[in-house]
A and B are shown apart, each in its own frame.
Chain A
Amino acid sequence: MTLARHVGAALVVAVILVLVSIQLSSYRDYQMAEVAAYVVAVAGLTVLIGLSGQISIGNGAFMAIGGYASALVLIHLGWPLEAVFAVGAVVAALAGAVFGVAAARLRGPYLAGATLMLAVALPTIANQFPKQFGGDQGLSVSISTPAFLGATFPPTRWLAWVTCAAALIALILLANLGRSRVGRSWRAVRDDEVAAALAGLNVARLQILAFVVSAACAGLGGALLAVVTGIVAPGAYTLTLSIALLTAAVLGGLGTLPGALWGSLVLVLVPTYLTNVGASHGLSSAASSSVPIAAYGVILIIVMLAFPAGIQGGLRRFFGPATATPLTALFRRTPVSEHQEEGPS
């Protein structure tokens, strides 16, 4: 029932996205593809933090794993795109499972520290094995537009279609998972681990599962981003990326999938828009390159002061009860019973 509703909604969104992409310029299509790639990664993180109550500052590393895995498969095996994306997600999920086993023993700041280490250390592996991973300059990834669309079809529109399709499928799966028994168990674990364990839930297994799901999403996001930008290189997966994902999840509204979309839109659109504003007001390139950094911080502060529940929380407050899952915060220690029901908090 829920699945049918989510698939129906996704189909409507897909039709709208196709129509929008045809109206947009090539560059906007490119940005649409970028947003789609980030949405998947941010959605995985928002589920991890918002639903299972764990934190990761290392999801950029899982994006790197997904990106490199898909690039290697594309270059050496020439698999079709859907298989390439699946490989990115699966390989990152395996890495997430390994890391999740360790992570399930860690709490709060210690977990954050461990994931931070992953974000810092992992990308440098590419430098250690330049033959396999191309070293600092990375591997280049290129896909071609299928012939049936014609020679004049804009390549960026094809990119937007491919990435949005992958993102929609990932979001349907996440939405269902959130509504399923697993999602409810995650909330129980998040709200009170002891109570959840007493209720018969396997806390460690649930936490590892959340890590795996989040890593798979990051891996898929990484694979999508690799195809969009045409390269996987260590410089693309710095700590900055992991932090940006976290920021997007918080800005959009933790634990909500629409929030992942708002966060990703801010991530992709704000820097471009603000640079153009800075330049058109006669700022030097050095000065206008600092504007987005400052503005990003200001937006974050304002959103958090005005809408502690993120953009999605703010929207819900203004436009009444919505159907999305409730907003959740980190490290919450409240009885399960008060929070198990769904609806606006």
Chain B
Amino acid sequence: MKRSHRVNAVALAGFTAVTMVVAACSSSGSSKPSSSSALAASAPGITSSQILIGTHQPLTGVAAPGYDEIAAASNAYFQYVNAHGGIYGRKIAYKILNDQYDPTITSTVVHQLVLQDNVFAIFDGLGTPTHLAVVKYLNSSKIPDLFVASGCECWNEPSTEPYTTGWQIDYVREGKILGNYIKQHFAGKKIGYFYQDDEFGMDGVKGLDDEIPKSQVVARQSYNPAVTNVAPQVTALKAAGAQVVVSFSVPAFTALLKLTSLKLSFSPQLVVTNVGSDPITLAGLLESFAKQGGATVAGNQLTQGIITDGYLPSLGDTSNSWIQLFTKIHSQYLPKLPLDGNVLYGMAVGYTFVQAMLKAGRNPTRQDLVNAINGGLPQGVAVAPYAYSATNHAGITGAYMAVIKNGVLVPTGPTQVTDTTSTGAITTDNAAQPTAPASGIPSP
């Protein structure tokens, strides 16, 4: 009798173990020690020798591929800064915890960072649904919540959430700039929309609709990121006769859109959000998805000609001082990862954090850091200025149009800046982007 018991319990355990492997869970972190100098411990997380900051990132799970490079790239930039004098002599320690893109875990790990690790600030927390879980908590605890890695307009609420700031161009601005290009270059053509059915896609569509005449839009197809079959949407786009398809999608769904269109002999001009168009990520996804379907494709051939936009300098522009700087840091501190759009993003946002910390002063409090950003940050690594002020916590305000050629973004026009209102004009920003400092570290 006891024996049969045991067998059943073991069988159930075995079953559970197998299922666990399918849907596993975890969390993670990293931090580095430091050297000393004569500075005061002016705030939680700041000692005389170190500034401790933390973040939540999807290091495992569905959102991990590609996005798991971002925090590592920021950390590589911080290592570079630490090796070259740090911030007023203090070294940055960056604790990266894995939230698996699950809002419950985000809440847990952010509580851990704030309550147990006593971080000075939360930096570049990734994702709209995940970060929304902690915005209220961080603001009620008065923790600086800088440069959220998501283009949701919701990070720009300085009156109710004064400690939270955005960074990348928001999806409404991006939609307006893409829409403006389509209006000018594809006048009279039939336009189809393909977008993710959440804040990300809907904000983008809002921007597009501000610019593209309604009569030109022949189909509006949304997808749910949990459903990987997009044939119904592509069929509808094809049936509507769309000549241009504009896509607010994450990279995996840009790839699915492209492959499904190929299968259905549908070849519209694709216009894709920056979020879903990193050529290296996209080429890899196209090749692996095609392989799963039993086909072989050349990723770079399929991305050829996709129209998109960029708010950071193009990785293909090897004469750009920022790309040179980040290429150097990449080869020294992060050689194992490809130098793609995610790595560029991570380093660029890391640079912006160092800008803000230097501006906050030698012995900053948390409020000093927020005040520094409210006073505005000088344009640096992005092609357009920041919107930061006491009444505006949006980040980068503009982007340039580009086309993908041979796996890199090739800019096709000047930087354009705009706001998030439906009537706000789109203007060309003729000011040249400042060059990267020779030291690679912003000046205070």
Contact = CB atoms under 8 A, between A and B. Distances in A.
A272 B224 contact: no
Interface of B: 1-2, 4-6, 8-10, 12-14, 16-17, 19-31, 57, 59-60, 68, 71-72, 95-98, 100-104, 107-108, 111-112, 115-116, 128-130, 132-137, 140, 197-199, 224-226
Contact of B8 (A137, A300, A331): A331
A283 B13 CA distance: 30
Contact of A231 (B14, B28, B103): B103
Interface stretch (A74-82, A210-218, A235-243): A235-243
Contact of B199 (A57, A135, A334): A135
A156 interface: yes
Given A137-B129, A254-B12, 12 more contacts: A27-B116, A156-B111, A228-B107, A231-B133, A243-B16, A247-B20, A254-B9, A283-B30, A290-B26, A292-B25, A303-B13, A332-B8
Contact of B29 (A30, A288, A293): A288
Interface string A271-293: 11001101100011110111111
A225 interface: yes
A12 B270 CA distance: 67
Interface in A136-171: 136-138, 140, 142, 156
B132 A231 contact: yes
Interface residues of A, number: 68
A265 B117 CA distance: 21
Contacts of B95: 279
Nearest to B113: A27
B197 A289 contact: no
B17 A235 contact: no
A309 B1 contact: no
Contact of A130 (B8, B23, B30, B198): B198
Contact of B20 (A243, A275, A289, A290): A243
Nearest to B117: A27
A289 B8 contact: no
B108 A34 contact: yes
B430 to A, nearest CB: 37
A275 B95 CA distance: 11
A330 B27 contact: no
Contact of A279 (B20, B30, B133): B30
- Grouping DSSP codes into helix (H, G, I), strand (E, B) and loop, the A interface class, with mixed when no group exceeds half, is helix
Contacts of A230: 107, 133-134, 136-137
- Grouping DSSP codes into helix (H, G, I), strand (E, B) and loop, the B interface class, with mixed when no group exceeds half, is helix
19 contacts: A27-B112, A127-B198, A136-B129, A137-B128, A137-B132, A140-B133, A142-B140, A229-B103, A230-B107, A231-B104, A233-B129, A247-B16, A284-B72, A285-B71, A285-B98, A289-B27, A308-B9, A308-B13, A332-B5
A25 interface: yes
Given A27-B111, A271-B27, A286 B59 contact: yes
A279 B26 CA distance: 13
A174 interface: no
Nearest to B102: A235
Interface in A191-226: 225
Contacts, number: 206
Interface of A: 25-27, 30, 34, 57, 124, 127, 130, 135-138, 140, 142, 156, 225, 228-231, 233-236, 238-241, 243-244, 246-247, 250, 254, 271-272, 275-276, 278-279, 283-286, 288-293, 296-297, 300-301, 303-305, 308-310, 329-332, 334, 338, 345
B406 to A, nearest CB: 30
Contacts of B115: 25-27, 30, 156
A156 B4 CA distance: 45
A136 B199 contact: yes
Contacts of B26: 271, 275, 289-293, 296
A323 B13 CA distance: 25
Contacts of A26: 115
A150 B282 CA distance: 54
A297 B20 contact: yes
A170 B328 CA distance: 59
Contacts of A296: 20, 24-26
Contacts of B17: 297, 300-301, 304
Contact of B107 (A229, A303, A334): A229
Given A130-B198, A279-B30, A30 B72 contact: no
Q: Chain A CB within 10 Å — which of B60, B71, B96, B111 has the most?
A: B111
Contacts of A290: 26, 28, 60
A330 B107 contact: no
A304 B71 CA distance: 37
Contacts of A136: 128-129, 198-199, 225
A332 B9 CA distance: 10
Contacts of A138: 103, 129, 132-133
A235 B23 contact: no
A238 B225 CA distance: 14
Contacts of B6: 308, 329
B217 to A, nearest CB: 21
